[in-house]
Amino acid sequence: MIPLGEWPLAARRALVGVFTDIDDTLTTEGAISADALAALADLRTAGLHRVAITGRPVGWSEPFANVWPVDAIVAENGAVALLPLPGGGLEKRYQQDAPTRERNFARMQSVLGRIEREIPGARRAADSAGRECDIAIDHSEFTQLGDAQIAAVVALMQSEGMHATVSSIHVNGWYGSHNKLEGARWIVRELWGRRLDDEMPRWAYVGDSTNDALMFQHFDNSIGVANVRRFEAALSHLPRYVASRERGAGFAEAAAAVLRAR
């Protein structure tokens, strides 16, 4: 990982937008920090797109999509998007049709019950009531699970044919081909009618943990806030650049680097 200060000016100047994780990237101690919120507003003023992509549920994300200066929040690891409407309120868009979501929801609830019965200490995430397209097991938000327990949760999800990924706080599982990268591709098509892969060098991604590895792999302008170092040994792909500060302050540092190039 290269220090953020070595991010080339030309690469920063070419950007049209920034994707970002939420937990422990925009947030600090569970809430968005004032400097991160101001950084999103400054990016908007500079004319850059701003999209948050998270493993958090759509229900949890709704109040933030209403008030944060973002073009969209893509929730549940790419499954569903919340789009602020010009006159107020939100539009909700899904990658899967309603019958598919209904079938998958029933299957996922069965897996969730099995995890809680079979893996000692495993509990569904506190935000589970707001989830429509995935399930989540808490490992660091309100419940502490060890590495062996986390691995057991992942293995059980995968044995049931689910995709599974580990964020800084949860283990998420779902059915379907979506993920954070596919969610990013989808929202660029939906909002701007363009192909993200045609302009990947013109976007940045900011994240902090193992469920950001796919994004770190595909974005040349990938940035880890400083707390990404706690996952360094577990990351299959590291961010290209790393901020000197953690969490929301690290996001603000990355945004400031972008804005200095404008």
Q: 219, 227, 145, 146: which is closest to 188 by C-alpha? A: 219
Q: What is the pLDDT of residue 146?
A: 97
How far does CA 165 lie from the centroid of its chain?
11
Q: Are residues 85 and 12 in the same domain?
A: yes
State whether 106 and 90 are in the same domain: no
Query: Do 14 and 42 have their domain in common?
Result: yes
Q: Which residues pair with 174 in a beta bridge?
A: 163
68 with 39, same domain: the answer is yes
Last residue of a domain, one of 169, 203, 221: 169
Segments forming the whole domain that contains residue 67: 2-95+178-260
* Residue where the block lists tokens 């937990």: 23
**Amino acid in the structure at residue 2:** I
CATH number (domain holding residue 190): 3.40.50.1000
What confidence score (pLDDT) does residue 88 get? Answer: 87
- Could you say which of 128, 143, 169 is where a domain stops? 169
Same domain, 235 and 121: no
Residues 104 and 182 in one domain: no
Amino acid at 174: W
Domain finish residue from 134, 151, 169: 169
Residues 150 and 111 both lie in one domain: yes
Q: 159 with 191, same domain?
A: no
Is residue 107 within 8 A of residue 92, CB to CB? The reply is no
pLDDT single digits (tens) 200-239:
999 999 999 999 999 999 999 999 999 999 999 999 999 9
Q: CA dihedral defined by 114, 120, 121, 124, rounded to 10 degrees?
A: -10
Asked if residue 190 and residue 64 are part of one domain, the reply reads yes
Q: Could you tell me which of 133, 140, 163 has the C-alpha nearest to residue 58?
A: 133
pLDDT at 175: 98
How many structural domains does the chain have?
A: 2
The amino acid occupying position 227 is N
Q: Are residues 196 and 252 both part of a single domain?
A: yes
The CA-atom distances, in angstroms, between 181 and each of 125, 191, 220 are: 23, 16, 13
Low-confidence ranges of the chain (pLDDT < 50): none
Q: Do both 6 and 91 map to the same domain?
A: yes
Q: CA 253 to CA 256: how far, in whole Å? A: 5
Query: With helix as H, strand as E and coil as C, how does the chain read?
Result: CEEHHHCCHHHHHCCCEEEECCCCCCEECCEECHHHHHHHHHHHHCCCEEEEECCCCHHHHHHHHHHCCCCEEEECCCCEEEEECCCCCEEEEECCCHHHHHHHHHHHHHHHHHHHHHCCCCCECCCHHHCCCCEEEECCCCCCCCHHHHHHHHHHHHHCCCEEEECCCEEEEECCCCCHHHHHHHHHHHHHCCCHHHCHHHEEEEECCHHHHHHHHHCCEEEECHHHHHHHHHCCCCCCEECCCCHHHHHHHHHHHHHHCC
Q: What pLDDT digit, counting tens, does each position of 63-74 carry?
A: 999 999 999 999
Are both 103 and 165 inside the same structural domain?
yes
